[in-house]
Amino acid sequence: MDSSGIRDALTEKGLRVTPQRIAIYEAILKLNNHPTADDIAAHIKLDHPNIATGTVYKVLESLVENGLIKKVKTEKDVMRYDAILENHNHLYCAESDRIADYYNEEINNLLTDYFRQHEIPDFKIADIKLQIIGKFLNETE
Amino acid sequence: MDSSGIRDALTEKGLRVTPQRIAIYEAILKLNNHPTADDIAAHIKLDHPNIATGTVYKVLESLVENGLIKKVKTEKDVMRYDAILENHNHLYCAESDRIADYYNEEINNLLTDYFRQHEIPDFKIADIKLQIIGKFLNETE
DNA sequence: TTTTTATATGAGAATAATTCTCTTTAAAGA
DNA sequence: TCTTTAAAGAGAATTATTCTCATATAAAAA
């Protein structure tokens, strides 16, 4: 997504288009290992030296609320952010704290079908997340 | 598990048996909605008024490290703890912040088999967690 | 274009969970 | 019982995040 796509996305959600919002959204798209708020702040401070930390958090919150990005949680107590909205799961390595996206429609369908056929009593499923924890081999990053 | 079972479990892991560790372990077993460190501290402060918060965290950490309990992460930024080691998944309701255990061997086997047959390149799976997010109906708690 | 107004930002204090440091205590083995 | 060493207590420190409020600015209205 380019800068004008970002503007459009913000406008469409009824959010004011501000340089900070554009910069933060761009940063999430660019920084690909599911950045933390801090990663994002550090990255955009090059172009926006005066951006306040609180602004970063507030913008992230409103982007999440408006479904433009997602929050990703790890074992650590820091939230991370993901601009990919397409249904996908995560591979997570606790050792390196690296998160990789894992696309596999088959497993999504398998789970969706399974729970369509086996409803859970007194519980309405909104989302199913599969977190695959392990270790990356042949680290190339 | 009773008090002597806890003593045995600690000894078996090479951990010293202290009143604080017993109290904390007992608290996790007793408080069943996946308590936070704070829940646990509040609960045991009745019997152990002088327990330090840091001790609670340190004990929880060593219990987790020794595989006696597990850490559970929710959407919120507080860690919660679970004394159930048996392979199970969690039902989580963001609205009420309630976590319920979900036992279903079938789904565990389904996932295990699936990933045995479909290995992920360059990634060694250690654990697969399924987090089922939604809403509890007929709240009875 | 200028004015208006509601919303967003900046700055920094406040909060909350967790960790750390250092001294004292006590569990477990000799 | 004595000794050793891990564990606990106290409270400061750290870290991520939220909050407050004055100022700035995007977008709508004139």
Checking each nucleotide's C1' against the CA of B21, the nearest proves to be D7
Supply the ipTM of this predicted assembly.
0.84
Instruction: Provide the sign of the torsion angle of the four alpha carbons B84, B88, B89, B92, taken in this order.
Output: negative
Cβ neighbours of residue B103 closer than 8 Å, sequence gap 6 or more: B86, B88
Give chain B positions within 8 Å (CB) of A120.
Answer: 91, 102, 132
Q: Give yes or no for residue A118 having a pLDDT over 60.
A: yes
Greater confidence, B2 or A39?
A: A39
Q: Strand D contacts (CB < 7 A) among B residues 17-76?
A: 18, 20-21, 48, 50-55, 58-59, 62
Q: How many CB atoms lie within 10 A of CB B10?
A: 20
- Of B9, B55, B1, B53, whose CA–CA distance to B30 is shortest? B1
pLDDT 10s digits, A36-58: 999 999 999 989 999 999 999 99
* Statement: B89-133 belongs to CATH 3.30.1490: yes
Of residues A59, A57, A66, the one with CA closest to residue A21: A59
Contact partners, residue A31, CB within 8 Å, separation at least 6: A39, A40, A43
Q: Among all strands, which nt has the closest C1' to A53 (CA)?
A: C10
- Cβ of A137 within 8 Å of Cβ of B124? The answer is yes
Name the residue ranges covered by the structural domains of chain B: 3-82, 89-133
Of B71, B100, B130, the CB nearest to A130: B130
Q: Are A124 and A116 a contacting pair, CB within 8 Å?
A: no
With beta carbons less than 8 A apart as the criterion, state whether A17 and A63 touch.
Answer: no
Q: Using the structure, give the distance in angstroms from the CA atom of A69 to the C1' atom of C9, rounded to a whole number.
A: 21
Fold of the A3-82 domain: Arc Repressor Mutant, subunit A (1.10.10)
The yes-or-no verdict on residue B139 having pLDDT over 70 is: no
CB neighbourhood size of B117 (10 A): 7
**H helices of B13-138, where?**
19-30, 37-44, 53-65, 105-117
- Across chain A, mean pLDDT equals 92
* Full DSSP string of A20-62: HHHHHHHHHHHS-S--BHHHHHHHHTTT-TT--HHHHHHHHHH
CATH architecture assigned to A89-134: 2-Layer Sandwich (3.30)
Using CA atoms, how far apart are residues A72 and A69, in angstroms rounded to an integer? 10
Q: How far apart are CA B17 and CA A137, in angstroms?
A: 39
Helices marked H in A46-132 — which ranges? Answer: 53-65, 105-117
A contacts of B122 (beta carbons < 8 Å): 136-138
Q: What integer pLDDT is reported at residue B73 of this predicted model? A: 82
Q: What is the per-residue pLDDT for B140?
A: 54
- Would you tell me how many other CB atoms lie within 10 Å of the CB of residue B74? 20
What percentage of chain A reaches a pLDDT higher than 70? 98
The reply to whether A3-82 and A89-134 are identical in fold is: no
Confidence at residue A140, expressed as pLDDT on a 0 to 100 scale: 54
Instruction: With cut-offs at 50, 70 and 90, classify the pLDDT of residue A64.
Output: very high
